[in-house]
Structure 1
Amino acid sequence: MDIKLKDFEGPLDLLLHLVSKYEMDIYDVPIVEVIEQYLDYIETLQAMKLEIAGDYMVMASQLMLIKSRKLLPKVAEPAVEEEDPELELLSQIEEYRRFKALSDELALQHEKRAVFYSKPKEELIFEDAVLRQDKSAMDLFLAFSQVISAKQEELKNSHTVIEKDDYRIEDMMALLNSRLDKEPALALTAVFADCGSLQEAITLFLAALELIKLQHINVEQEANFGRIILRKGA
């Protein structure tokens, strides 16, 4: 069973998405938190053995440098003024935001003009795994990235031996359906609480995505950074 997530257009697009969730000026966001979310996202893609474009990895290395500089204790000011990589990054995100807003506005104007011209019939093609609510799906994936990061830390500190590793998406879909039959609303963190291995959590997440695609599960998030809730579909 193949499941494809719509990717961001690039690392700056992902960073803009993360920054925008704070609903404040770009230069006021807690940059370390944003960096940690970005790195969690990349780490989850690696854990799921999904291909990662090189520019995402280059950005990850730059972000780790910025994070390390932010966390290190302050020392005497250097004699020669150096470029601030954090300020440079925020400037890049702000510039990308402006260009993206302009691009969206031009696309909207194009759509408005297009209605005045007749167009030949076009075949509508939909990707098999395009989710009904893409923004919710991506927020779900980003939230899952944080869950996976916490689960990895938990398993690292645990001495439990896990024997089973042949989890099937179909079995996890049945498990989720069964749980939602008993509990009409499930928090994302609760869904993965009992997972005993990273592979089990990943398979369970893929099962949730497939159920969302089939509209058997609805995803809700009442506020930015709020809990992700799974509900039984209609």
Structure 2
Amino acid sequence: MNDNSVIETNEVQPIARICGEPLLEIPQDLYIPPDALEIFLDTFQGPLDLLLYLIRKHNLNILDIPMAELTQQYMAYVEMMRVDQLELAAEYLLMTALLIEIKSRMLLPNPKTETEEEHDPRAELVRRLLEYEQMKYAATRINDLPQASRDFNVIQVWVEQQAAAQIPNISMDDFRNAWAAILTRAKINRHHQIKRETLSVRAYMSQVLRDLGGRDQVEFYELFSPAATIAEVVVIFLAVLELAKELLLEISQSLDSDIIYVRSIDAAS
């Protein structure tokens, strides 16, 4: 093995980079303010948050709190906060007084009668701590959920699109009733003279398309002339059905009324 193949490097790692340039050692004339190296204590949302922190940190039983130990630790933290953050001392001092009161009540004898049950002075404090712990846990769970502008961005896209008017489909019963009404109207013009009429369904199909030309839609009854005979009514009706079968016209019905409409497919598109 060639010794030249092994190259040892003892590069000095920079302690910082200023404007992209590595800084290998601390300048001798660097001034550090006295408060720059101040140790910040854990921030708390209130006295209950501090009590809960002390209980969990020292593995205390929240249902059987040793008040002497907890009060001593709590007052030590309050004293440290009072030095630098005097405005926070008021609410914390109120909790200090409560802890001292509970501690004193536990040291004093608690005479009780036969009808009275023993009351633990810590019961109210334990209840407040448990409720606060539940609310803090719930707040943490909510904060872990994805939030807009923090975990993701909401993108809105505006698309100009005109919705086509949708007319509901006609039911067969309504269509049958409309046909019966037209036949009833056509019977008024009936007569007993027998003659042979040559009626072309194709011719009436063209006539219906001409009647619908240039119009958005017409009522179904308008396709049948009041003076039309029964034979003409039947042929016109067959012409409408044939046009609908060949997808040359559309039959629909209004939502708010029972009026039946007919329109050509060219007008609908």
TM range (shorter): 0.3 to 0.5
- Bigger fraction of residues in helix: 1
TM-score calculated relative to the size of structure 2: 0.37
